[in-house]
Every structure is written in structure tokens, then in C-alpha cells.
């Protein structure tokens, strides 16, 4: 392949992020696919754009945009690259064990009625917390808001059917209690658990979104690591506003909230924060 085929390899973040071509590309991506590229880290944007340009055999962002409009499959792949769908049941099991301890502490779960799984992807996270809550309060008046920017992932999540490999991390007692094996060898989540989870689209970076309010527990894990510092701060401000006083925020195992005091949060354990009670 001629060297010119990879001419776009010189497009480093500091060389293209503020060019008119890139700004136009971002505007069109936001318009057509509702993805705000300016909120992602420049390194991540550059890496994925290089990959997409190679696949499309183009050398400019304008050419890539034209190709994305003409090729629905390539456009779907592009959207998937910028909507994070890496997930699994009980991701970081030791942290989910700590979450269960916190829910049991002083019977917190008894007053835990509104739960939000932000950026829920394919549904493994909200169903994981649903299993824990069903164990603690099977007749409780709790429900889970499960949101994501990727409507394709939400459609799959709402079906609640997973492969044998997908359900491997699920503890056996939960697997036996909450899943049914289908004739095709897949596993379907129980209707009782499904009824507790409400899936709907939401962009964490869009302040006009329909975020759940007065949440007792929010899980937002392994998402903001891909965002710029400004976007991270905006998301954490949003999550703090959506927590009720005394509510818990559970973040990813590689994530930290640095300016917790200004958000009205205090650390409970690593990766767990509590919203301070009103004075």
C-alpha cells in the first residue's frame, strides 16, 4: 500500500482539534448522530478517527464524513466506537460486594427507592444492582433508571437476553434465581427483575436531558475516563445534583472525583461518595 494511504497518521490532537475542518466534522457528527466529540479526550478522538479513516480508505475528515453518510454500516461502527459498550455483570466483584455492604449498613436499602445506572450500556450493570436489591428488598418499592446514549445498546438491554459467556460472572445463586435458559442456549433475565428497570436514552453531556432526580444511589462507572477534564467535571456536577442528601455515588475503579467539597460530596470508601446532608 502506498505511503500516501496513511497520510492522515500525522493528525495528532494538537494539529487538528481546532482546525475548521475538524470543527465542521464535529458539528455534523453532532447533528446526524447526536455525539458530542468535543467532550472526548483528544487522544481518544485521534485514535478512533485514524482507525475509521483507514477503514474508509480516505485521507481527510471531509472525505470521512461523506463516506459515513453513504455507508450505514460504517456509520454504525463509527457510532459504536464513541459510545462505550464495554461492560459485564458485577464488574469489579469486590466493589459490588462493598456496595452491598453499604446498602445493608443501617438498612440503607430500606429507603433506597430511586436508583440510576448512568451509561448502562447493554444492561449488565442495572440488572446486577437489581439482583442485589431483590435479595435485600424483594417487596420494596424500588426501581432503576437505566440510561445510555446508544439506543441500539438500550434495545438489546431491554430484551434482557445474554450469552453463556456473558453470564459467567453472575453468582450461581443469582443465575438460578433470575435467569431462564432458552432453547438456543442463551439466558433471559426474569420478568420480575425486568419490570424493575426502565431503559431510556440520555446523553450525560446534554444538560437538557431527562435525568432522574433525588436519587438514593447512582452508578456511573468507567465512562468519564474517556472525557476531557471539563466534560468530567460537568458530569460529576450533574450526578451530584441528582443525588438526594445522604445518597450514594458509585464510580469506576479507575476514576476519582477530585473537588468533592464543591459538589457537596464526601468519600465513604474508595470509589464511593455520599452527598452531605443539608445543613
Q: What are the tens digits of pLDDT across the range 11-67?
A: 444 455 567 888 888 888 877 777 777 667 777 777 778 888 888 888 888 889 899
For the chain, the straight-line distance linking the first and the last C-alpha, in angstroms and rounded, comes to 67
In this prediction, residue 137 carries a pLDDT of: 96
Q: Are residues 197 and 143 in the same domain?
A: yes
Q: Are residues 182 and 222 in the same domain?
A: yes
Q: Has residue 150 been placed in a domain?
A: yes
Q: The domain that contains 145 carries what CATH number?
A: 3.40.50.150
Between these two residues, 27 and 91, which has the higher pLDDT value?
91
Grid cell at residue 18:
481546532
Indicate the pLDDT class of residue 152, thresholds 50, 70 and 90.
Answer: confident
> HSE on the CB side for 129, CA within 13 Å?
31
Q: Are residues 64 and 176 in the same domain?
A: no
Indicate the pLDDT class of residue 86, thresholds 50, 70 and 90.
Answer: low
Domain count, the chain: 2
CA distance linking residue 96 with residue 228, whole number of Å: 27
Grid cell at residue 81:
466506537
Mark which of 54, 81, 108 sits at the end of a domain. 81
Q: Has residue 47 been placed in a domain?
A: yes
Q: Has residue 161 been placed in a domain?
A: yes
Name which of 214, 218, 219, 212 is nearest 198 in CA terms: 212
| pLDDT tens column, 114-131 | 999 999 989 999 999 999
Q: Are residues 65 and 122 in the same domain?
A: no
Mark which of 81, 115, 134 sits at the end of a domain. 81
Q: Which residue has the cell 437538557?
A: 208
Q: Are residues 164 and 64 in the same domain?
A: no
Grid cell at residue 249:
455515588
Q: Has residue 114 been placed in a domain?
A: yes
| pLDDT tens column, 185-228 | 999 999 999 999 999 999 898 878 889 999 999 999 988 877 77
Do 170 and 224 contact (CB within 8 A), yes or no? no
Q: Are residues 146 and 52 in the same domain?
A: no
Give, to the nearest 10 degrees, the angle between helix 42-56 and helix 72-81.
Answer: 160
On average, the pLDDT of the chain sits at 86
Q: Are residues 45 and 120 in the same domain?
A: no
Mark which of 81, 115, 138 sits at the end of a domain. 81
pTM for this predicted structure:
0.75
Q: Has residue 88 been placed in a domain?
A: no
Percent of the chain with pLDDT over 90: 54
Q: Are residues 56 and 107 in the same domain?
A: no
Q: How many CB atoms lie within 10 A of CB 149?
A: 24
Q: Which 3 state secondary structure label does DSSP give 145?
A: strand
Q: Has residue 267 been placed in a domain?
A: yes
Beta bridge partners of 251: 220
Q: Are residues 172 and 247 in the same domain?
A: yes
Q: How buried is 200 (Cβ within 10 angstroms: 0-12 exposed, 13-18 middle, 19+ buried)?
A: middle
CA distance linking residue 128 with residue 197, whole number of Å: 11
Q: Are residues 98 and 40 in the same domain?
A: no
| pLDDT tens column, 247-266 | 999 998 888 898 899 999 99
Q: Are residues 123 and 183 in the same domain?
A: yes
Domain extent for 41: 3-81
User: Which of 251-259's residues contact partners 24+ apart within 8 Å by CB, and which partners?
Assistant: 251/220, 251/221, 251/224, 252/92, 252/220, 252/221, 252/222, 252/223, 252/224, 252/225, 253/92, 253/95, 253/221, 253/222, 254/222, 254/225, 255/221, 255/222, 255/224, 255/225, 259/233
What are the φ/ψ torsions at residue 89 (nearest 5 degrees)? Answer: -65, 140
Q: Are residues 175 and 65 in the same domain?
A: no
Do 89 and 170 contact (CB within 8 A), yes or no? yes
DSSP at 40: B
Q: Has residue 87 been placed in a domain?
A: no
Q: Has residue 99 been placed in a domain?
A: yes
Amino acid at each position: 500500500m502506498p505511503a500516501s494511504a496513511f497520510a492522515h497518521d500525522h493528525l495528532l490532537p494538537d494539529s487538528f482539534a481546532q482546525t475548521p475542518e475538524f470543527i465542521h466534522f464535529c458539528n455534523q457528527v453532532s447533528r446526524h448522530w447526536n455525539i458530542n466529540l468535543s467532550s472526548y479526550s483528544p487522544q481518544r478522538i485521534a485514535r478512533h478517527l485514524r482507525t475509521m479513516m483507514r477503514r474508509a480508505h480516505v485521507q481527510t475528515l471531509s472525505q470521512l464524513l461523506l463516506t459515513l453518510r453513504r455507508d450505514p454500516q460504517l456509520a454504525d461502527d463509527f457510532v459504536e466506537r464513541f459510545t462505550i459498550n464495554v461492560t459485564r455483570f458485577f464488574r469489579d466483584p469486590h466493589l459490588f460486594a462493598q456496595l452491598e455492604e453499604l446498602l445493608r449498613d443501617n438498612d440503607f436499602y430500606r429507603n433506597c427507592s430511586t436508583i440510576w445506572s448512568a451509561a448502562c450500556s447493554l444492561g449488565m450493570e442495572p440488572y446486577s444492582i437489581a439482583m442485589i436489591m431483590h435479595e435485600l428488598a424483594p417487596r420494596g418499592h424500588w426501581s432503576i433508571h437505566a440510561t445510555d446514549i446508544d439506543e441500539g445498546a438500550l434495545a438489546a438491554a431491554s430484551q434482557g437476553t445474554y450469552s453463556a459467556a456473558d453470564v459467567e460472572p453472575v453468582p450461581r445463586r443469582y443465575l438460578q434465581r433470575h435467569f431462564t435458559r432458552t432453547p438456543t442456549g442463551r439466558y433471559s433475565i426474569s420478568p420480575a427483575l425486568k419490570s424493575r428497570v426502565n431503559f431510556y436514552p440520555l446523553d450525560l453531556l446534554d444538560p437538557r436531558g431527562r435525568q432522574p432526580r433525588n436519587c438514593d444511589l447512582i452508578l456511573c462507572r468507567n465512562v468519564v475516563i474517556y472525557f476531557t477534564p471539563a466534560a468530567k467535571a460537568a458530569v460529576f456536577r450533574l450526578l451530584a445534583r441528582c443525588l438526594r442528601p445522604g445518597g450514594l455515588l458509585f464510580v469506576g475503579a479507575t476514576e476519582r472525583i477530585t473537588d468533592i467539597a464543591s459538589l457537596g460530596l464526601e468519600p465513604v470508601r474508595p470509589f464511593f461518595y455520599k452527598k452531605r446532608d443539608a445543613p
